């Protein structure tokens, strides 16, 4: 389920707060994400993860795994990078300069070739409908396992697009949704003075006390904690991380919502948010592939390279894992439909990239054949990738969470993580 589909009960609770004047009129739908404190994480080197989600499925042959001598090579040239032996697209020149901090996984291979099912699969590691439950996304797993119990900030923030939420883990691990990073989270502005706010919250607590005492179910306690943590966030200094208007590095990330979202992501990990997802759509390039990929790559180039450099300069790169990926790759051959040809869906062989997080930079894992059509060496599944992210963040991916019906489900099933090969 998408995280925008909130439970009616939670909606009523938030509206009740708004009617009391506790919050400003506009609502972003994030409050259930703060329902209850999450346990602290493990001992992995990475303490935060920034997922740069390339919505639509980017072409591996036009980004990370160019094949200049193949039949469907296309228009782009491969350029050398700061990592000896690694070449990437000419339209990622600044990313090329920081590839000594990066890992390219060129052996990704997955079973889903339709957008909705592939997105769900790569976010959760499970096929949609499998087992009759809704599975939690990686962001919600990190929120649960590595979230900070004493922090007023949300443990999972999604910027610039919809994402998959907490599934059977419940509303307490849902993401805070930030639609426009340039506007931040407007709901943090109180409609009244701090004194009046305190008085109204106190009155609301008194009104609800009898109800909570009579119906002391977990869901009621969660909803009570929702507005308590929301008020705490409104009064916290960390909430300034959502305001990028005066950030001195903002222009270096580029222009547009994706660049602004990546800048905000860096600010959020600085104040301890463990998982941030930033979306960039437009990668479904069935038509006009090369013009569109060039434009999208230019956005990625400035934002990703600046993020790596910025985190490195602030001493945060080793503790922040950056992941660049979409739901699948695109066909190694160019289609012949229309005046401006493109590439179609292709989950059998594709690439993703990772930076920081304790990784040994300047590496490539896996290899495709000469056409980029199949994995020739070291195939990597979604489960292998997700388990590796968990290990880098000190999360036990063999842990089993229970569904509301008591069914135990392992965080990642049957993986072969590649952590030992890349750290």
Q: Report the Cα–Cα distance between both ends of the chain, in Å, rounded.
A: 34
Per the listing, tokens 């904690």 go with 225
Q: How far, in Å, CA of 185 to CA of 167, rounded?
A: 24
Q: Which CATH class is domain 35-184+243-422?
A: alpha beta
Give residue 201's pLDDT: 56
Question: Which residue numbers in the chain have pLDDT < 50?
Answer: 1-42
Give residue 171's pLDDT: 83
Give residue 191's pLDDT: 52
Phi, psi dihedral angles at 203 (to 5 degrees): -65, -40
Q: How far, in Å, CA of 25 to CA of 136, rounded?
A: 30
Give residue 238's pLDDT: 87
Give residue 10's pLDDT: 42
Largest CA distance in the chain: 74
Question: Do 62 and 372 meet the contact criterion of CB atoms below 8 Å apart?
Answer: no
Question: Do 175 and 268 meet the contact criterion of CB atoms below 8 Å apart?
Answer: no
Cβ contacts of 8 within 8 Å, gap of 6 or more: none
Beta strand pairing call for 156-159 and 275-280? parallel
CB-hemisphere CA count at 13 Å for 348?
12
Extract the tokens encoding 287.
């038509």
Give residue 292's pLDDT: 98
Q: How far, in Å, CA of 349 to CA of 420, rounded?
A: 23
Q: How far, in Å, CA of 285 to CA of 393, rounded?
A: 33
Per the listing, tokens 């639609």 go with 179
Q: What percent of the chain has pLDDT over 90?
A: 72
Give residue 13's pLDDT: 45
Give residue 150's pLDDT: 73
């Amino acid at each position: 389920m998408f995280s925008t589909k909130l439970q009616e009960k939670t909606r009523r609770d938030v509206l009740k707060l708004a009617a009391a004047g506790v919050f400003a009129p506009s609502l972003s739908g994030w409050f259930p994400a703060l329902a209850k404190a999450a346990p602290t994480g493990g001992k992995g080197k990475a303490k935060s993860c920034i997922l740069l989600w390339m919505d639509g499925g980017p072409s591996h042959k036009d980004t990370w795994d160019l094949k200049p001598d193949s039949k469907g090579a296309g228009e782009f040239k491969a350029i050398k990078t700061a990592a000896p032996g690694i070449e990437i697209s000419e339209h990622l020149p600044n990313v090329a300069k920081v590839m000594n901090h990066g890992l390219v996984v060129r052996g990704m291979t997955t079973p889903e070739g339709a957008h909705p099912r592939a997105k769900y699969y790569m976010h959760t590691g499970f096929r949609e409908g499998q087992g009759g439950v809704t599975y939690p996304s990686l962001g919600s797993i990190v929120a649960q396992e590595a979230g900070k119990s004493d922090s007023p900030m949300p443990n999972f923030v999604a910027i610039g697009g919809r994402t998959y939420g907490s599934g059977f883990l419940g509303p307490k691990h849902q993401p805070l949704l930030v639609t426009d990073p340039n506007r931040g989270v407007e709901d943090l502005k109180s409609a009244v003075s701090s004194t009046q706010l305190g008085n109204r919250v106190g009155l609301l607590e008194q009104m609800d006390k009898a109800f909570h005492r009579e119906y002391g179910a977990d869901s009621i306690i969660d909803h009570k904690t929702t507005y308590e943590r929301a008020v705490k966030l409104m009064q916290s200094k960390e909430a300034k991380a959502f305001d990028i208007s005066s950030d001195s590095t903002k222009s270096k990330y580029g222009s547009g919502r994706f660049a602004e979202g990546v800048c905000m992501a860096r600010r959020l990990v600085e104040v301890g948010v463990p998982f941030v997802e930033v979306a960039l759509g437009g990668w479904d390039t069935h038509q006009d592939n090369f013009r569109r990929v060039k434009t999208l790559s230019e956005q990625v180039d400035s934002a990703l390279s600046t993020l790596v450099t910025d985190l490195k300069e602030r001493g945060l790169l080793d503790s922040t894992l950056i992941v660049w990926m979409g739901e699948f790759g695109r066909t190694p051959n160019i289609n012949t439909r229309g005046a401006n040809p493109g590439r179609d869906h292709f989950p059998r062989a594709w690439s993703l990239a990772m930076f920081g997080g304790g990784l040994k930079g300047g590496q490539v894992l896996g290899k495709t054949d000469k056409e980029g059509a199949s994995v020739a060496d070291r195939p990597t599944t979604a489960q292998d990738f997700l388990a590796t992210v968990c290990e880098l963040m000190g999360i036990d991916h063999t842990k089993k969470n229970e569904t509301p019906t008591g069914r135990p489900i392992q965080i990642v099933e049957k993986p072969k993580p590649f952590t030992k090969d890349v750290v």
